[in-house]
């Protein structure tokens, strides 16, 4: 049975395909030069892409940092409100000066605790870099 049922796709099935007469064969030097030019074009395109991506990341990073600073500003204002509210709520029980002293003393104790924890962390880092000689 022949392959008469297969449609002809216009593909030349001869094994000895000839080149057209007006095309010159390329030399190895031409191929290497073309490869070099293609590589140079690829590197230029990749550098342009990475530069664009870096600019995009930097712009979004700056915006993100600005938003974080704004959030920290609002957090700071909220904590000031908490401190003032704490003082005002303690005034009827102990008076204005003792209320202020209680709130400030509590904040100083908290500050000391956080500083000691930070000192321990920095000490751990410095211990990691000490020579074991």
pLDDT tens for 39-95 read: 999 999 999 999 999 988 888 888 999 999 999 999 999 999 999 999 999 999 999
Is the pTM value of this prediction over 0.75? no
Q: Length of the chain, please?
A: 133
Tens-digit pLDDT profile for residues 101-132: 999 999 999 999 999 999 999 988 888 888 76
In contact, 107 and 83? CB cutoff 8 Å: yes
């Amino acid at each position: 049975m022949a392959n008469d049922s297969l449609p002809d796709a216009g593909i030349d099935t001869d094994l000895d395909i000839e080149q057209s007469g007006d095309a010159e064969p390329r030399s190895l030097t031409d191929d290497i030069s073309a490869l070099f030019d293609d590589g140079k074009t690829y590197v230029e395109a990749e550098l342009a892409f990475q530069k664009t991506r870096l600019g995009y990341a930097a712009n979004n990073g700056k915006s993100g940092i600005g938003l974080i600073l704004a959030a920290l500003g609002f957090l700071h204002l909220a904590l000031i409100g908490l401190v003032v509210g704490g003082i005002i709520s303690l005034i009827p029980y102990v008076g204005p000066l003792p209320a202020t002293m209680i709130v400030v003393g509590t904040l100083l104790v908290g500050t000391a605790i956080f500083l000691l924890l930070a000192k321990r962390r920095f000490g751990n880092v410095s211990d990691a870099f000490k020579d074991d000689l």
